[in-house]
Structure 1
Amino acid sequence: MAEAGGTIAAYRALLRAQARSQTAYRTSFVVDVLGNVGSTVFDVVTVLVIFGVTRELGGFTLRETLVMVGLSSCAFATADLLVGSIERLPRYVRTGLLDAVLVRPLGALPQLLLMDLPLRKVSRALFGLLVLVVALVSAGIAWTPGRAVLAVVAPLAGVVFFGALFVATATVSFWWVESGELANSITYGGRDFTSYPVTVFEGWFRAAFAYGLGFAFVSYQPALALLGRTDPLGLPSWAGWAAPAVALVAAAGAAAAWRTGVRHYRSTGS
């Protein structure tokens, strides 16, 4: 029990140190916080611009599409805040900083996340939540207890899914140090993919990303369940409730990849 308390205290100390260092220059920190809203705002504006020239996108109205944008933005921005700093892993492997992390009596992954927790991104996560709330309120959803639960569970499952994706793609750097662009193409590309109805994509690309990698269960399928719409692609109605299961599978896969990568790592001195 005492050991567990000491571990928690150590993690708290890491978090406090990060908070102090990032807020030391308060004006700069506030500017960073406000500036980080930009990418999520851009996602929303892009959809609004598209609907300026069309009434429907892939068979969905603006209000229906904004539910998907809200689910995607809220999930990705929160995962990026909590786990996104793991994308610096290639630099840690290349410079040997990971060696120092591994010799400490703390979990390597929590240390890496807390060492570079980007507190400035909290504004992006809050704005993503705001977009989701506004989209759900304006979509004319016929609320039931089940849909109310899904409105809470779906974005949380999306956070777990994107978090697992960040960890899994970063783990590639244990074998291939210059893997950053590959990781970004999947994580940030996945964010862009989930901001639109899956029906706007076709063929193998849709099959690979939407269902092979599971991106359809971040926003598209939960949005169908919340809106009470049948899937134009023919999947059963229960698919909209599968987001937590898909997220757990993704998390288990990422955990296995991380453990394998750490065992494979032989430090910069080998």
Structure 2
Amino acid sequence: MADVLAARLRPYRAVLASRIRAQRSYRASFALDLVSSLLVGVIELAEVWVLFHNVVRLGGLEFSQILLVFGIADLCYSLADLSFGHCDTLPTYLRAGTLDIFYLRPQPLLLQLITSDISLRRLARAAVGLTALVAGLVVNDIDWTAAHGLLLAVAIVSGYATFAGMFVWAGGVQFFLVEGAETTNAFVYGGRYAATQPASVWDRPLWAVFGFFFPMAFTGFLPTLTLLGIAGPGWLPGWAGWCAPVAGAWTWLLALGSWHAGVRHYQGGGG
């Protein structure tokens, strides 16, 4: 069984390995890409610091606590962006008609798209999220138990799955929009920004969109409240952070529904 699985994954590993070697062959360019990606992550973290530099608490959270929210959400997003972010290139394939080449290969279309590229520069972005997460765990007084350790692991895995599902959902929608990437970006990248903020300050429309339909609040905010033992919004229980896997499963339900509808809708490049 393991040999069969390894054989099936061998073509994907070969493609990814060639992409990695190609990026590393131009060392100066690769270094500049890493630095630029790192600066983007640092600037986004600095925005949070500036916001909390002017207020003591926001949405019931202090800076040390929001640092944990930012760390979990940003790390999960960065890892998902590393592995699924190039789904953004789907409109380019659609316009050029080159997506039809994928149909000639005896592999699933979505898996081909996911493994068609990898941007190592996004590792620098993940380093910012990891640093913020570690700092948040250190500066907050957490009564560590086995349950808390499990909660943190579940939050990271579920958050990654949620953001990955968002990229796949956006890719499926592009079969219909083609030229409307800005529309899906408002939810994918806007959702990432929302996930790093205290969701307790959101109004009802934002909660409807980024709280439940696209469950960004379950990636960082609610697991942090559960981890720190902080009461959530009045209509959410304190254990809501444990529902992060449900949020991830719901996002992938949306993602696969969108993807399959888009693939059925696609009629070819017309070339």
TM-score bracket for the superposition, by shorter chain length: over 0.9
Specify the alignment match of 2:45 in structure 1. 44
CA distance in 1, matches of 2:229, 2:248: 22
Q: CA RMSD in A?
A: 1.6
Correspondence 1:40-189 to 2 at 5 A: 40-189=41-190
3-state SS in 2 of match to 1:119: coil
C-alpha displacement of 1:3? 5.6
CA distance in 1, matches of 2:195, 2:214: 12
CA distance in 2, matches of 1:206, 1:11: 38
Which whole-Å deviations, capped at 9, do the CAs of 1:200-246 have from their partners, x for residues lacking one? 22132233321232111111110110111111333112211000111
Amino acid at match of 1:234: W
Kept in 2, the 8 Å contact 1:174–1:265? The answer is yes
CA distance in 2, matches of 1:186, 1:135: 26
CA distance in 2, matches of 1:61, 1:124: 24
CA distance in 2, matches of 1:124, 1:195: 14
Which whole-Å deviations, capped at 9, do the CAs of 1:177-208 have from their partners, x for residues lacking one? 11210111111100111111112221322333
Amino acid at match of 1:43: E
C-alpha displacement of 1:4? 4.0
3-state SS in 2 of match to 1:34: helix
Moved more, 20-29 or 75-84: 20-29
Kept in 2, the 8 Å contact 1:72–1:191? The answer is yes
CA distance in 1, matches of 2:99, 2:4: 24
Kept in 1, the 8 Å contact 2:172–2:260? The answer is no
TM-score normalized with structure 1 length: 0.95
C-alpha displacement of 1:153? 1.5
CA distance in 2, matches of 1:146, 1:39: 34
C-alpha displacement of 1:256? 2.5
3-state SS in 2 of match to 1:224: helix
Amino acid at match of 1:114: T
Which whole-Å deviations, capped at 9, do the CAs of 1:142-197 have from their partners, x for residues lacking one? 11111111112201111100110011012111111112101111111001111111
Specify the alignment match of 2:30 in structure 1. 29
CA distance in 2, matches of 1:205, 1:248: 21
Kept in 1, the 8 Å contact 2:72–2:219? The answer is yes
Number of aligned pairs? 270
| Structure 1 unpaired stretches of 5+ | none
CA distance in 2, matches of 1:208, 1:16: 38
Kept in 2, the 8 Å contact 1:69–1:196? The answer is yes
Specify the alignment match of 1:214 in structure 2. 215
| Structure 2 unpaired stretches of 5+ | none
CA distance in 1, matches of 2:143, 2:235: 22
CA distance in 2, matches of 1:105, 1:126: 36
Kept in 2, the 8 Å contact 1:199–1:233? The answer is no
Q: 1:215 to 1:5 in 2, by over 3 A?
A: closer
CA distance in 2, matches of 1:6, 1:40: 37
Kept in 2, the 8 Å contact 1:75–1:155? The answer is yes
C-alpha displacement of 1:114? 2.2
Kept in 2, the 8 Å contact 1:102–1:108? The answer is yes
Kept in 2, the 8 Å contact 1:224–1:231? The answer is yes
CA distance in 1, matches of 2:170, 2:101: 22
Kept in 1, the 8 Å contact 2:173–2:259? The answer is no
Moved more, 35-44 or 9-18: 35-44
TM-score normalized with structure 2 length: 0.94
Q: 1:260 to 1:203 in 2, by over 3 A?
A: closer
C-alpha displacement of 1:50? 1.1
CA distance in 1, matches of 2:4, 2:235: 52
